[in-house]
Structure 1
Amino acid sequence: MKKLLLTFILLPTCMFAQDLKIKNGQGGIFSLGVRSTVSAFNGHDNESSGFGAGGQFRLQFADRVNSDWFFDYITSDIGDLASRTDYHIGWSVLYYLTEDPTTRLRPYLLAGHCFDYTEFQDNSNFTVRKTRLSSAVQAGAGVHFNLSSRLDLSFVTQYMLHLGNEIHADVHDGHLEFHEYSGTSFEGHLLFHLSINYKIADLW
């Protein structure tokens, strides 16, 4: 029993210590990760910074080209009146500024697209809510801190621009009302991500 328990304890350590067998360059490397998010400079008056969490996987196409496929859940407050929840599902292409993948720091540029489902909700009456589905584009920069050949800590800052209807929260006669304005509006926010990622396999 002690040997079995020791095996389960040491198995994850052994997995993280093993180098990934690379087949034909960096293309084909598949990674999984989790990440935290801070959303700043949001588009509504009196809206606080947003905080959230999510997950991602990476699929590398070439030695200097990678991709992120992500999901984020972000919440923020609009004063004391309402709350906002955003669900992001999207992807980004990463271009590395250095050729050597084994360096401790590896900076990169990124650009991509995502879909955003947003829900606004009255804090005093949960039946009063408004939702919006929009599309967004994002661009920014990041850096990998390579902790080992398979594990990295990554920091990203990017600006995300939403394209869709605009929703405002207004108070009338002491009651909160959400108003949606049709037509395309440009609403953006600055996002900061911190993630930890593990290379699972080289697929090709």
Structure 2
Amino acid sequence: MRHLTATIALLVAAGAWAQPLRQVGRGPGGTVSLGVRSSFSFFSSGTQGVPGTGAGGQMRVRISDRVNTDWFYDYFTGSAGRLAHRQDQHIGWSVMFYPLKPVPERRLLQPYVVAGHCFDHTFQQAIDDASNYAERWSSAVQAGLGTHINVTDRADFSLVCQYMIHLGTDVHAEEHDGAVEFHEEPGADLEGHLLLHLSFNYKIADLW
């Protein structure tokens, strides 16, 4: 929590030195913002059906009044059952579409639809033996709904719920004769999980 607070303070300080926004009379397109976020991940299958927690950051580039882009990195930790724990890293992008027509006045709530793609690296490690581990790369798509909570013209909190589906090999831990063994199943496997993100974002520039 202290790291998140410190990062928010740095973003606000950076914004104080950033160029003034020139949005008056011409709409929100062209803004660039930086943000940090806390995340929760809820897996929907197998022994990994336990929540994980994470943190990350994003950069947003708004290409038009109703379309925004989000370029993000997330790091998660959590349990992979009673035998192992897991670490996941996501790096990817999303497109956000705002269904409500922009208005000159700032809205407190600004809902949006989001969809995108990311690459995921999963690292599973035996709880009792740090040298015993397995890892994999996968590709994923995600989609969901969210809203900005606009506290000032520059700053917002955003809350988004997404469902993410990974396509990759299935890696899991099993116990044989008291020893933990990781198994990688042949072929591709689909793994889904629900994601909740709460982020703080600050506009640092208005490019067009």
Q: TM-score, normalised by structure 1?
A: 0.88
Change (3 A) 1:62 1:19: same
**1:12 CA displacement:** 4.2
* Secondary structure of 1:130 counterpart: strand
Equivalent residue runs for 1:45-194 within 5 Å: 45=47, 47-100=49-102, 102-194=106-198
Q: Tell me which structure has the larger Cα radius of gyration.
A: 1
Measured in 1, the distance between the counterparts of 2:102 and 2:207 equals 20
Contact 1:143–1:156, Cα closer than 8 Å, also in 2: yes
What's the offset of the Cα at 1:19?
Answer: 6.0
Q: Distance in 2 between matches of 1:19 and 1:202?
A: 8
In the alignment, the residues of structure 2 paired with residue 167 and residue 186 of structure 1 have an alpha-carbon distance, to the nearest angstrom, of 12
Distance across 2 between alignment mates of 1:14 and 1:186: 41
| Residues 1:19 and 1:51: Cα distance change in structure 2 (over 3 Å) | same
8 Å CA contact 1:26, 1:61 repeated in 2: no
Q: Determine the C-alpha separation between the residues in 2 that align with 1:151 and 1:187.
A: 35
Partner amino acid, structure 1, of 2:31: I
Amino acid across the alignment from 1:58: R
1:7 corresponds to which residue? none
Greater shift, 107-116 or 75-84, is seen at 75-84
Alpha-carbon distance, 1:28 to partner: 1.4
For residues 41 and 99 of structure 1, the distance between their equivalents in structure 2, rounded to whole angstroms, comes to 35
Question: Percent of aligned pairs with the same residue?
Answer: 52
Please, which of 13, 36, 39 is the counterpart of residue 37 of structure 1? 39
* Aligned twin of 1:15: 16
Deviation at 1:132, TM superposition (A): 0.2
The verdict on how the C-alpha distance between 1:185 and 1:32 changes in structure 2, with shifts beyond 3 A counting, is same
Q: CA deviation at 1:55?
A: 0.4
Contact kept in structure 2, 1:140 and 1:159, CA below 8 Å: yes
